[in-house]
Structure 1
Amino acid sequence: MAQGNRPYASLEIIPPLTGISKEQLINDIRPFTEFNPRYINVTCHRDEIEYVQQEDGTFSRRLVRRRVSETAVCGAIQSELKVDVVPHIICGGASAHQIEFQLQDFKFMGISNVLALRGDCLAGEKRFTPAPGGFSHADELVRAIRDFEKRNGCEGFFRIGVGGYPEKHFEAPNIETDIDNLKKKVDAGADYIIAQMFFDNKVFYSFVDKCREAGISVPIIPGIKPISTFRHLQLLPESFSIDIPRELTDEILSFRDDREAIYRIGQEWATAQCKDLLAHGVPAIHFYTMGKSANVIGILKECF
């Protein structure tokens, strides 16, 4: 973005479940590299808690890691594909000291771009609970990263991205308050914003206008996720608190038993979104791949 040559595509992947080999991971990602993505975001997932019944009938609590660590995934992508990586750093499940160790690893690996997020609640939690000695909000995390740079003599090493919500974060009482919270993250030292997925570009343009009015001047990157299954009509609004336009909903409902048609409709809708966004001068488009490649590759062929 700083070079400002032309808009580019970036991708977000989810670390695979444990048990997959490095070769399998790389083979899954390799088709994207034909389009020279500027970077690949790698999500971070909290360890899960599992309760195991003992012989005496009591239960013991233990942590379970179901996915390969993002640090391992970042290392594999760097070494095998030579593509820049942007790991997520989340408040959830980590103390300030643990996050500092993570930053030390990223600096050692030459990873200078990160995405700082609060993270989701654990399953069963009604409200986000920080780890003991951890952070409650993403602006605190951004400030901690900048403090790490100062204390380690590497000021300006990290380029920090944060999340933005065109339809507001589900916990915010209104969009204006949510944008006030977003500005706190930028004021703490964030360099750019990646928007949550949306399916109506007018919502994104309105969000950008509100951000600019609030004094947020950093680049804002739209996030795109093509619908690929009928279940997405329920799962995406439920999981991400977003709206799916009536026109798109009705079209998918009319083909509810035709999986190929729904896949095509979702790809065509996202392609139209991207062409319109590029025409409006966005600096980049970020794709939430959810581990799927065919539809995103189809969009990249048409738009980049």
Structure 2
Amino acid sequence: MKISKKIEQAAKEDRVWWSFEYFPPRTAQGLQNLLDRIERMRALGPEFIDITWNAGGRTSELTAELVKTCQKLIGIETCMHLTCTGMPKEKVDIALRLQPRERVLTCPSRRKQSRRAAANVLALRGDPPVGKEWEPVENGFRYGVDLVRYIRAQYGDYFDISVAGYPQTQRLPPEERAREMQYLKEKVDAGANFIFTQMFYDVDMFVEWVKAARAAGITVPIVPGIMPIQTWNGFQKATTLAKITVPQAFLDELEPHKNNDEKVREIGTKLVADLCRRILAADIGIKGLHFYTMNLEKGCPSSLETGAYLALLEDSPC
């Protein structure tokens, strides 16, 4: 089932859902370890998972294989990242054609017809290779919207296409903020079915951004990206790299324990759980949470058990 349909079904049932993101490891043993982890984390009931695409395509084949394995063998709906970085059109086509396929027999008296299983793609411009400026390759794409348009033009409605949204742009000056929202609107108008957001910790900023997106005419589902907090150094690195605003309340609670990873993880879990509760409680029509796992098990289950699960219980009539 396409992810947009799964989100639509969850909305009709008025239930909270969650999903996980993983990245392909570089070794065969790492790949097997990750598959085992994904299998275990399936018990947490994610609606779907998605698999990242390395800048420059260095792990692109592993991404495609991981998607196929999760979709077909583990049996969980999977979304594949696809970037413009280092990807001419012919490589994009190869990646899209590697999506899971299936054969069906329409009738004993008729010939077999080929049909591909429903596929989901996150279309991104992507980051440049380390130490380089971003630039399009020959016969490639300059922006994420170009990739969305190409997929729609070449493959019709076969693919469910998601795109990235950036709540942090809500803190830009008004003119820049409006321009960034227009870019997002263009990606949706080009054929995107839903939006994954960049990580954030400022819920008020996120709510403002969602309302601004709706006011701009963006009606597709918005899925908030949640980054669990594991260590102080990891938290600092991630927020600095993404250039996101961190509420002072987070810093006040975490920084005194920055040399104690266990304490940072404990406090971070509570902070992220509260973040999840506030998102789900906000009157913006969002019932889904997308966790950036960093291929780790501890942070996401803890956040779910103390956050989304409790929110479900609090809303329950019993």
1:130 is aligned to 2:174:
no
- 1:148 corresponds in structure 2 to 154
Tell me if the contact between 1:179 and 1:214 (Cα under 8 Å) persists in the aligned partners.
Answer: yes
Aligned pairs for 1:246-285 (under 5 A) are 246-280=248-282, 281-285=285-289
- Structure 2: gaps (5+ residues): 1-6, 102-115, 310-318
1:299 is aligned to 2:300:
no
Tell me if the contact between 1:95 and 1:133 (Cα under 8 Å) persists in the aligned partners.
Answer: yes
Tell me if the contact between 1:26 and 1:80 (Cα under 8 Å) persists in the aligned partners.
Answer: no
Q: Partner letter of residue 283 of structure 1?
A: K
Q: Partner letter of residue 168 of structure 1?
A: T
Deviation at residue 107 of structure 1 after TM alignment: 5.8
- The separation in 2 between residues aligned to 1:135 and 1:224, in whole angstroms, is 28
The change in CA–CA distance for 1:212 and 1:267 in structure 2 (over 3 A counts) is same
SS in 2 for 1:174: helix
The change in CA–CA distance for 1:200 and 1:169 in structure 2 (over 3 A counts) is closer
- 1:89 corresponds in structure 2 to 82
Deviation at residue 234 of structure 1 after TM alignment: 2.6
Higher mean displacement: 277-286 or 7-16: 277-286
Deviation at residue 111 of structure 1 after TM alignment: 4.5
Out of 279, 288, 294, which is 1:290 matched to?
294
- The separation in 1 between residues aligned to 2:172 and 2:142, in whole angstroms, is 13
- The separation in 1 between residues aligned to 2:222 and 2:250, in whole angstroms, is 25
- 2:126 corresponds in structure 1 to 119
Out of 73, 80, 83, which is 1:80 matched to?
73
1:139 is aligned to 2:145:
yes
- Once the two structures are superposed, residues 242-267 of structure 1 have per-residue CA deviations (whole angstroms, 9 ceiling, x without a partner) of 11111111211111222111001111
Runs of 4+ in 1 over 3 A off after TM superposition: 65-68, 169-173
- The separation in 1 between residues aligned to 2:60 and 2:194, in whole angstroms, is 28
- The separation in 1 between residues aligned to 2:171 and 2:142, in whole angstroms, is 16
Deviation at residue 190 of structure 1 after TM alignment: 0.4
Deviation at residue 66 of structure 1 after TM alignment: 5.9
1:239 is aligned to 2:246:
no
The change in CA–CA distance for 1:145 and 1:244 in structure 2 (over 3 A counts) is same
- Once the two structures are superposed, residues 67-102 of structure 1 have per-residue CA deviations (whole angstroms, 9 ceiling, x without a partner) of 862111112212332101000011111101211222
Deviation at residue 223 of structure 1 after TM alignment: 0.7
- The separation in 1 between residues aligned to 2:240 and 2:171, in whole angstroms, is 10
SS in 1 for 2:8: coil
- The separation in 2 between residues aligned to 1:75 and 1:66, in whole angstroms, is 14
- The separation in 2 between residues aligned to 1:189 and 1:66, in whole angstroms, is 27
Higher mean displacement: 103-112 or 156-165: 103-112
Deviation at residue 238 of structure 1 after TM alignment: 2.2
Higher mean displacement: 113-122 or 24-33: 24-33
Q: Partner letter of residue 96 of structure 1?
A: K
Tell me if the contact between 1:10 and 1:39 (Cα under 8 Å) persists in the aligned partners.
Answer: yes
- 2:160 corresponds in structure 1 to 159
- The separation in 2 between residues aligned to 1:183 and 1:216, in whole angstroms, is 6
1:26 is aligned to 2:35:
yes
Deviation at residue 23 of structure 1 after TM alignment: 3.4
- The separation in 2 between residues aligned to 1:97 and 1:169, in whole angstroms, is 36
Tell me if the contact between 2:19 and 2:46 (Cα under 8 Å) persists in the aligned partners.
Answer: yes
Q: TM-score of the superposition, structure 1-length normalised? A: 0.87
- 1:11 corresponds in structure 2 to 20
- The separation in 2 between residues aligned to 1:25 and 1:12, in whole angstroms, is 12
- Structure 1: gaps (5+ residues): 49-64, 150-154
- 1:56 corresponds in structure 2 to none
- The separation in 1 between residues aligned to 2:295 and 2:41, in whole angstroms, is 11
- The separation in 2 between residues aligned to 1:183 and 1:285, in whole angstroms, is 22
SS in 1 for 2:121: strand
- 1:58 corresponds in structure 2 to none
Percent sequence identity is 31
- 2:94 corresponds in structure 1 to 101
Tell me if the contact between 1:86 and 1:111 (Cα under 8 Å) persists in the aligned partners.
Answer: no
Q: CA RMSD in A?
A: 2.2
Tell me if the contact between 1:14 and 1:43 (Cα under 8 Å) persists in the aligned partners.
Answer: yes
The change in CA–CA distance for 1:171 and 1:115 in structure 2 (over 3 A counts) is farther
- The separation in 2 between residues aligned to 1:233 and 1:218, in whole angstroms, is 30
- 2:54 corresponds in structure 1 to 45
Which of the two has greater helix per residue?
2
- Once the two structures are superposed, residues 147-167 of structure 1 have per-residue CA deviations (whole angstroms, 9 ceiling, x without a partner) of 112xxxxx3221110000000
